[in-house]
C-alpha cells in the first residue's frame, strides 16, 4: 500500500469519457477503502473564492470575544473555544468555529430541520458584511462537489448513479469554519487541537487547511500526515456511510495535532455532507454480506445521538 493519500482529478469524472469516469470511480472507492481519505484536484471550486473565504474567516475570528459571543447558536453560528470534545474524551479540543447550514428554501417542501425541530436559520456577523455571500457561495460549491462524488461512488455500491441526489441536495449539511488559535503557555498537556475522532456524516470535503497538523490513522496503526496543495480539497468518509456500507467503507480515525513548529493560528473549512434527517441508514443490500452489523436508524436520530456525545446537543 502506498504511504501517501491518493490524489484524484475530479475533471476525469466530470469531463472524461466512459473509461476515465470508471477509473475515477474505481480509484475513489479504493482510496476510501485503503485510507478513508483522498485528495481532490481540478474540482471546480474557484481559487479566488477559497482565498476570499479564508481572509474573511481570519477577520471574523479576530473580532473581540464579546462580539462573537452575540452569535452563539445551536447547530449554526459561533461556538466558542473549548466547547467541543471528541467522543469519549474528557478534554476539550483547542478550537473555536462558526457553522453554516443550507439556507431554507422558504416553503413547506423544504424538509430540513435543525436537530430537535425547527428550520435552520443561519447566523451572520454584522461586522463582516461580505462573510455571508462568500460563505453561501462556498457552501453551494462544496455541496455540488459532494453530489458529484456520491454519483461516482454509488455504482460501486450497487446503487444507481443518482441514488443520493434527492437525499443530499438539500440535506442537513454543515460548513464549519475552524480557528485553532496559538497554544497558550498554560495549555492542558492532555488537550490537542482536535482529538482522534471519526466524522459523523456521509462524506466530508475540506478545503486544504492553512497550517499543518491533520493526520489519519493508517491501516497499519501508524499516524499518517494528510498533505495537499492549498487549492485542493481533502475528502473522507464518515460514520453514516460506514453504517450504510456495513463497514465496506470505514470511517477513518483522524486528528489535528498541536504545532511542532511555529505556534501560530490554523484555519480549516470542512464541509460535512449530511442527508435529509428522515433518510434511513439501513445497510445497503449489496453490503449486507453475512448480516448487518448496525441496527437501522434515521440520519436525524443518529446525528442527534452523536451531537450529544461530543457536547454539541442543540442549545447545549
* Domain annotation covers residue 1: no
CATH number (domain holding residue 54): 2.60.120.330
Q: What sign results for the dihedral spanned by CA atoms 205, 246, 19, 165?
A: negative
Domain coverage including residue 64: 43-104+115-309
- Is the C-alpha dihedral spanning 299, 304, 310, 316 positive or negative? positive
Beta-ladder partners of 79 = 97
Give domain status of residue 315, yes or no.
no
Query: What does the pLDDT look like over 163-217, one tens digit per residue?
Result: 999 999 999 999 999 999 898 888 888 888 888 889 999 999 998 777 778 999 9
pLDDT on residue 88: 59
Chain segment 47-71, per-residue pLDDT in tens: 999 999 999 999 999 999 999 999 9
The answer as to whether 34 is a domain residue is no
All residue ranges of the chain with pLDDT < 70 are 1-2, 84-90, 105-119, 312-316
Burial class from Cβ neighbours inside 10 Å (0-12, 13-18, 19+) for residue 4 reads exposed
Angstrom distance (rounded) from CA 31 to CA 25: 10
Assess if residue 252 is contained within a domain: yes
Per-residue cell: 149: 462524488
3-class DSSP state for residue 219?
A: coil
Rounded CA separation 219/309 (Å): 25
The verdict on residue 207 lying in a domain is: yes
Residue 235 inside a domain? The answer is yes
pLDDT of residue 313: 61
pTM: predicted TM-score of the whole model, two decimal places: 0.91
Secondary-structure percent of the chain, ordered helix, strand, coil, rounded to 5: 30, 20, 50
How many structural domains compose the chain?
1
The count of residues in the chain is 316
Q: For residue 186, is it within any domain?
A: yes
Residue 145's contacts (CB-CB under 8 Å, 6 or more residues apart) are 10, 40, 43, 44, 45, 205, 233
**CB-neighbour burial class of residue 210 (10 A; exposed 0-12, middle 13-18, buried 19+):** middle
Amino acid at each position: 500500500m502506498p504511504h501517501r493519500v491518493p490524489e484524484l482529478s475530479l475533471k476525469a469524472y466530470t469531463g472524461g469519457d466512459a473509461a476515465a469516469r470508471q477509473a475515477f470511480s474505481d480509484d475513489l472507492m479504493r482510496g476510501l477503502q485503503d485510507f478513508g481519505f483522498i485528495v481532490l484536484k481540478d474540482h471546480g471550486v474557484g481559487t479566488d473564492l477559497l482565498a476570499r473565504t479564508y481572509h474573511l474567516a481570519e477577520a471574523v475570528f479576530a473580532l473581540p470575544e464579546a462580539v462573537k459571543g452575540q452569535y452563539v447558536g445551536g447547530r449554526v453560528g459561533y461556538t466558542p473555544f473549548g466547547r467541543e470534545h471528541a467522543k469519549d474524551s474528557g478534554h476539550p479540543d483547542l478550537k473555536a468555529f462558526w457553522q453554516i447550514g443550507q439556507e431554507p428554501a422558504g416553503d413547506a417542501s423544504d424538509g430540513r430541520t435543525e436537530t430537535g425541530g425547527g428550520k435552520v436559520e443561519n447566523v451572520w456577523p454584522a461586522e463582516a458584511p461580505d462573510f455571508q455571500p462568500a460563505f453561501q457561495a462556498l457552501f453551494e460549491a462544496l455541496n455540488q462537489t459532494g453530489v458529484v462524488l456520491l454519483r461516482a461512488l454509488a455504482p460501486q455500491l450497487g446503487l444507481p448513479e443518482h441514488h443520493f441526489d434527492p437525499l443530499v441536495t438539500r440535506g442537513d449539511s454543515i460548513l464549519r469554519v475552524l480557528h485553532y488559535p496559538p497554544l497558550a503557555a498554560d495549555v492542558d498537556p492532555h488537550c490537542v487541537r482536535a482529538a482522534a475522532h471519526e466524522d459523523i456524516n456521509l462524506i466530508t470535503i475540506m478545503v486544504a487547511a492553512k497550517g499543518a497538523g491533520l493526520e489519519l490513522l493508517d491501516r497499519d496503526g501508524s499516524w499518517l500526515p494528510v498533505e495537499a496543495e492549498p487549492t485542493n480539497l481533502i475528502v473522507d468518509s464518515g460514520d453514516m456511510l460506514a453504517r450504510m456500507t456495513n463497514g465496506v467503507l470505514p470511517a477513518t480515525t483522524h486528528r489535528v495535532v498541536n504545532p511542532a513548529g511555529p505556534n501560530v493560528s490554523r484555519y480549516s473549512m470542512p464541509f460535512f455532507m449530511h442527508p435529509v434527517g428522515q433518510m434511513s441508514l439501513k445497510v445497503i443490500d449489496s453490503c449486507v454480506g453475512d448480516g448487518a452489523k448496525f441496527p437501522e436508524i434515521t440520519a436525524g436520530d443518529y446525528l442527534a445521538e452523536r451531537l450529544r456525545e461530543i457536547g454539541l446537543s442543540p442549545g447545549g
